[in-house]
A and B are shown apart, each in its own frame.
Chain A
Amino acid sequence: MNLEVVTANRLKDGRTVYLGESGWSENLEEARLAGSAAAAQALLALAERSVERNEVVGPYLIEVIEEGGHLVPARRRERIRAEGPTVAAGSGRQSREIV
């Protein structure tokens, strides 16, 4: 059985968020899990109401799997959304830190 959660981007700042028990969270661990198609659709419907309230944009379902006791997204794209870019910003180790 696939586990799914709802993800979206927050309208005001664009950050990746997941639909949790008490609203949207940036932490995937706090996301509400759907274990059936019906549950997934119900979560999506909740998310759509949040869209109407101009809280988030573009909600959709993603599959999550358990890995080492944690929930992680199944797809690479979603892992990157959850964990951030896989590269460190900026101009590499040859530069000294110019703050």
Chain B
Amino acid sequence: MYRYDQFDQRLVDERVAQFRDQVRRRIAGELSDEEFKPLRLMNGVYLQLHSYMLRVAIPYGVLSALQLRKLAHLARTYDRGYGHFTTRQNIQFHWVRLEETPDILAELAEVEMHAIQTSGNSLRNTTADQYAGVAADEIADPRVYAEIIRQWATLHPEFSFLPRKFKIAVTGGARDRAAVKTHDIGLFIRRNAAGELGFEVVVGGGQGRTPFLAKTLRKFLPEADLLSYIEAILRVYNEFGRRDNIYKARIKILVHELGIEKFAELVEAEWAATRAGALRLPEAELARIRAHFASPPYEEIAPPGASLEAERRADPAFARWLRHNTAAHVKPGYAIANISLKATGAVPGDISAGQMEALADLAERLSFGEIRVTHEQNLTLPYVKASELYTLWQALGTLGLATPNIGLASDIIACPGLDFCSLANARSIPIAQRIAERLKDVERQEAIGELRIKISGCINACGHHHVGHIGLLGVDKQGEEFYQMTLGGHAEEDASLGTIIGPAFSSADVVDAVERVVETYLGLRAPGERFIDAYRRVGAQPFKDKLYAAH
């Protein structure tokens, strides 16, 4: 993973000192709240319902064991002993004090971390897929480009007062494990006919009040032009993005209103002027960054032979966990291990300080000291020897982190919602918990197969409900919490936005409604047909009929 040199370290250290002074001036009244708000947002400090919240950046979701231990320490020292992982691979602390945030940032800087631009109308954390560097179907490691973008985007003097927030995601090949089509800029790594590396650039995706899937802006962008092209997009957005209405200020609205062809014209015209300039990436710089993401010192192992197979046969619970929570690794003898933060009754995405410390130890012992955060609020250990999976599984079991439900019905994404967030209209966590409780039977979940349920507590869609197979949007109807259901959303390369299925369900009825959707699917699916495929085949009507049948 990327390691800071003196340049990187100096930047975060100076940033801490700068923010410390800004906080001092705010508390002393030298800065008004209106002047201070954008400054604290650009350091990830939100004011929520009960408290300040700090959103710490985890660049493209990658953490070292050392960093995870520091997060545990921060949770204990400055918060209430836990943290929350988000759909943008960041971590949030929900109970910090403004006056202590400079100290928290100083401690983060000690382990090469920060909270820069995790909020505000700026360039946010660039996310990548959590199997970066270890997936067999990868063309090139997306973390390399996510890091290049991260540096270019950090404290960018020209682009720190954009019309609205700006999110970029990179995926390593044709498969999209980073939901790039829901981002302002999405990048698919590609090779052209000559075998050269580059990107398909998509633009104008976004969820929220008016969801859009990103459209192709450029089919192939050469590797060396990555930053100059992104700069051209940002400059066009900075100029033309609306500033009169925050609900129309994202680039997705601009792309939609201009049309992709006109938008592309503007970008290409701007790019013609920037392409040959200082942002062209020399091979030396690409190589420098790439070197930070070289493969770890893998052992040469004969493919997992008797031991794993024997362990699998001997223990059905282990076999089940293997089935759902592990994925094939590019290196023979290794595996990708996913850690579910969705135990029944858990708050999705939450993790305690003790769990963080134990996982840091496990990462160190079993995964070359590295752990990743997924955009679905789970964790991934990317470099586990197949022969050590059983040991890992047992250890995870003692921590309550071995739920074998990755991608299944109880692996629910939920935003913090009205329990925490000042933007929310309804709670999402209790709904996630009740659904998970209703569907907790593992065999039933296996019978259902892949089902992605995503819940947002308001229109801002931090729970990504628009791209849930079943999506729920919390709304307030005359003081009561209701949930509008969408079906058929999907967050991979064949992305789709969910369709609103009918009138919203009350809090009392929504779990039954979800179960009825599941039962309907089971009743009409072809053998082995996933929920999303069945929905795409039959459409919404069979579900509407069952959900809203006259009583």
Contact = CB atoms under 8 A, between A and B. Distances in A.
A9 B400 CA distance: 35
Please classify how large the interface on chain B is, using the bins under 10, 10 to 19, 20 to 34, 35 or more: 35 or more
Contact of A13 (B98, B341, B351, B419): B98
Contacts, number: 119
A86 B350 contact: no
B28 A92 contact: no
Nearest to B23: A12
Given A87-B433, A91-B341, A91-B355, A96 B27 contact: no
Contact of B343 (A76, A89, A95, A99): A95
A86 B427 contact: yes
Nearest to B48: A14
Interface of A: 9, 11-16, 51-54, 57-58, 75-77, 80-81, 84-99
A95 B400 contact: yes
B21 interface: no
Contacts of B403: 94
B26 to A, nearest CB: 8
B107 interface: no
Interface stretch (B49-57, B162-170, B487-495): B49-57
B430 interface: yes
B81 A90 contact: yes
B6 interface: no
A32 B304 CA distance: 70
Shortest beta-carbon contacts, A-B, top 6: A95-B400, A98-B354, A92-B346, A92-B345, A13-B97, A14-B52
Most B Cβ at <10 Å: residue of A9, A15, A96: A9
B418 A76 contact: yes
B2 interface: no
Contact of A98 (B341, B355, B427): B355
Contacts of B343: 91-92, 94-95
Nearest to B351: A91
B412 to A, nearest CB: 13
Given A80-B427, A94-B346, 18 more contacts: A12-B97, A13-B99, A14-B97, A14-B98, A52-B29, A53-B29, A54-B28, A76-B481, A87-B429, A89-B80, A90-B352, A91-B82, A91-B343, A91-B355, A94-B345, A94-B400, A95-B401, A98-B354
B419 A86 contact: yes
Nearest to B429: A87
B420 interface: yes
Nearest to B99: A12
Contacts of A12: 27, 97-99
